[in-house]
Chains A and B, each alone.
Chain A
Amino acid sequence: MAAVIAGSAVRTCFGDGAQTFDALLGGAVGAGPLRHGDPAELNISTAYHAAAAGADPLWRASRLLAACVAQAAGHAGVDPSRERVVVLVGTGLRELSAVEEWALGGTRPRARSLHFGDVVTAVLPGVVEIITISNACSAGGQALALAQDLIELGDADVVLACGTDALTRSMLAMIGRVTREPATAVRPFDRDRKGVLLGEGAAVAVVVPPDRPGPVLGRLAATGVSCDAHHETAPDPEGIARAMTDAFERSGCEPAQVDLVVAHGTGTALNDPAECQALRKVLPVSDDGALVTAVKGATGHTSGSAALVNVDVALRCMAGGVVPPVIGLQTVLEEGTGLRFVTGAPTRFSPQLVQINAFGFGGVNAVTLLEKP
């Protein structure tokens, strides 16, 4: 049993997947002034806005998703009239920003526009099932896990695993609430990290059986999932490690085979040490251990799409033989001692088995193992 990725599309603050990867290799930071809500009210001054979402403050997650679905389905030749196509949309915040605009005197949205069924149908008519899965910052990884299950169990011919999120004032306020002074950049795994900042983004991976004709960008070994059941918002290294172990058990791969980790790396006080502890617990730590990179210093935290943005980056690392550095990382935090972070400049390296981490509010974890085709 196996499943492969036949297409991938991304929208971040840098543009599409190719533009995003080029920006990562070039060390760019996509941060800019916060344009959603009042920075003084929110105690947040910086965000990673995506131009592809347009200028309208409403329906940004929907527009980013639509662009990615159209592109990925086009590249992979998805045809809902001939194939059983299921679309799983992972999201952290849905279109709750429309509820917020209404609360401030704007137009009342329809309940069905809070999720993404109509958005997908508009760009990919004929899809038999569209399910919106709200799973915080690991939502895209959860969608990828279910996509592989649907393919391997023969329930679908094609599954689009999607993730999308824009910003909400209520979530921004919570982030601002726990920071003394607003962070101006995300600095994953840095000793002097100041916290997380949100980025707008969407991503889609087209998951198909290995024998479907067409492009194969990568092979899905497995996605392991777990719930910490430990704390409402704080991560738990034990719960994270269970998701990693689940991925290895499901795939039959050995931890020592992982040669690149695209980490979650949110730059918060709690995530980065917990992620390092889990990595050190599950993966062998040695001089020739896996390289570790992370993108959120460049893209911000793209929440529901973060896992699938990382998948696209991993696919490009495998295809191009080059790994971007952890942008924003200067001095590795103590808990990361022994982990081989890529810093400063890109590294020429062609990974064979990439581990992709995603963790979310509520302790929901998804860890994907992706093999070079």
Chain B
Amino acid sequence: MTAGPMIATGWSLHLPGIPLAATMTDLLGRPCGAWAHELAVAPENAAAVLGRKGLLAKEPATRLALCAVHRACELAPGFRPASPLSPRTAVVACGNLGNVATVAQATRTIAAQGGRAVSVLDAPNVSSNVIASSVALWFRFGAANMMICSGAAAGLDGLRLAGLLLRAGRADRVVLVGAEPADEVASALHDGDPPLRAGAACVVLETAAAARPAGRRVLIDLVPAGAVPAAAARHTVGAAGFDPTSHWGDFYGARGVIGLALAAHLALDEGRQVVEVRDPGEDAVRVATVRVGSQP
């Protein structure tokens, strides 16, 4: 099966503290749709989206990721879904710094008080795949489960691997989610200008057979290095267009997925039809196009 466009059937931005509507209205020259007016709650208020149970010891980045998935799946706010296992839904999570604060704090606790003083509730958090596995456990996604930690390139690396999982028949649906925190430890490690910004986004990708024919969708192409995008973009997310990093801050490993979700909103919800995502990655710019269309 060759690499054609991927079908995205759901997307969300979950960027606490960022005035999407104001920023986008300036950009578009008119008030924009409801998506830009929805409140993105901070990690400590995640219960408003996710419900109260089960959030104990969940790190901020994990909470942001769960909120983004919840919203991309268009679930009712405030309730944790009681879903049966979805054995054909995979998770690809992208991010790097979600657990560094826990790891640093645990290390200092061990040195000061010994290992017995470390909470076992943090056991999942010292393993770097905690965001991916937490999303699977929360929403009961039972297919492949991967956490991509390749720095600033993680988001579009995640898109690449999500597409691979679908083409290889490992899943009918892939929940691609990016999330980073902006705590003191994470921000110091990131050490960038602009600084690290906390946020998450989710894009739900499905096979043509799995996607509901009448549902909303956009098509996503990851443009091979050196190739020219097939469709001419009317708008760019990234340098030379609207650059989330310069307006809002650096979402680092979540940046690629945030760019894709924003492009999906612009393409479909704001009628821009074809939107290009230019992501600077870690060392090389990569391009994805997001366009309105029904069939690949």
Identify the A interface with B (CB < 8 A): 37-38, 40-44, 91-94, 96, 99-100, 102-104, 108-112, 114-115, 117, 128-136, 139, 142, 145-146, 149-150, 152-155, 168-174, 176-178, 225-233, 239, 242, 250, 360-364
Contact = CB atoms under 8 A, between A and B. Distances in A.
B107 interface: yes
Q: Give the secondary structure class of A's interface.
A: mixed
Nearest to B188: A108
Given A168-B126, A225-B144, A103 B107 contact: yes
B103 A96 contact: yes
B45 to A, nearest CB: 23
Contacts of B189: 99, 108-111, 114
B106 A136 contact: no
Which 10 A-B residue pairs are closest in the complex by CB-CB distance?
A362-B133, A173-B115, A227-B145, A134-B128, A103-B104, A149-B168, A170-B106, A170-B126, A100-B107, A232-B124
A106 to B, nearest CB: 11
A364 B142 CA distance: 9
A173 B157 contact: no
Contacts of A231: 137
Contact of B126 (A115, A152, A154, A171): A171
Name, among A37, A128, A131, A153, the residue most crowded by chain B CB atoms within 10 Å (CB to CB).
Answer: A131
Contacts of B149: 91, 94, 114-115, 132-134
Interface string B121-159: 011101111101110110111111111111111000100
Contacts of A228: 142
26 contacts: A38-B111, A41-B114, A41-B115, A44-B115, A92-B127, A93-B126, A99-B100, A99-B189, A104-B107, A108-B188, A112-B152, A115-B96, A115-B150, A131-B150, A134-B148, A135-B129, A168-B126, A169-B106, A170-B118, A172-B115, A225-B144, A227-B141, A232-B123, A360-B127, A362-B136, A363-B133
A132 B158 CA distance: 10
Interface string B158-171: 00110011011110
B185 A99 contact: yes
A153 B1 contact: yes
B168 A153 contact: yes
Contact of A102 (B104, B252, B282): B104
Contacts of B168: 149, 152-153
Interface size class of B (residues with CB under 8 A): 35 or more
Nearest to B225: A128
B193 interface: no
B108 A146 contact: no
Interface centre among B145, B149, B152 (most CB of A within 10 A): B145
Given A94-B149, A130-B150, A132-B148, A362 B190 contact: no
Interface string B203-238: 000000000000000000000010000000000000
A111 B252 CA distance: 10
Interface of B: 1-3, 85, 87, 90-91, 96-97, 99-100, 102-108, 110-111, 114-116, 118, 120, 122-124, 126-130, 132-134, 136-137, 139-153, 157, 160-161, 164-165, 167-170, 185, 188-191, 225, 252, 282-283
Contacts of A117: 150-151, 153, 282-283
Nearest to A137: B127
Nearest to A42: B115
Contacts of B129: 92, 134-136, 139, 360-362, 364
B114 A40 contact: yes
Contacts of A99: 100, 103-104, 107, 185, 189
Nearest to A173: B115
Contact of A131 (B137, B157, B167): B157
B148 A131 contact: yes
A161 to B, nearest CB: 13
Contacts of B139: 229
A122 to B, nearest CB: 13
A177 B151 contact: no
Nearest to B137: A229
B115 A133 contact: no
A136 B126 CA distance: 10
Given A93-B128, A136-B127, A170-B103, A41 B110 contact: yes
A49 B160 CA distance: 35
Given A111-B151, A114-B96, 15 more contacts: A38-B110, A110-B191, A111-B189, A112-B151, A132-B149, A134-B148, A142-B146, A153-B1, A170-B110, A173-B115, A227-B133, A230-B137, A232-B134, A361-B124, A361-B127
Nearest to B138: A229
A373 to B, nearest CB: 23
B96 A229 contact: no
A94 B126 CA distance: 11
A47 to B, nearest CB: 14
Contacts of A363: 133, 136-137, 145
Contacts of A41: 110-111, 114-115
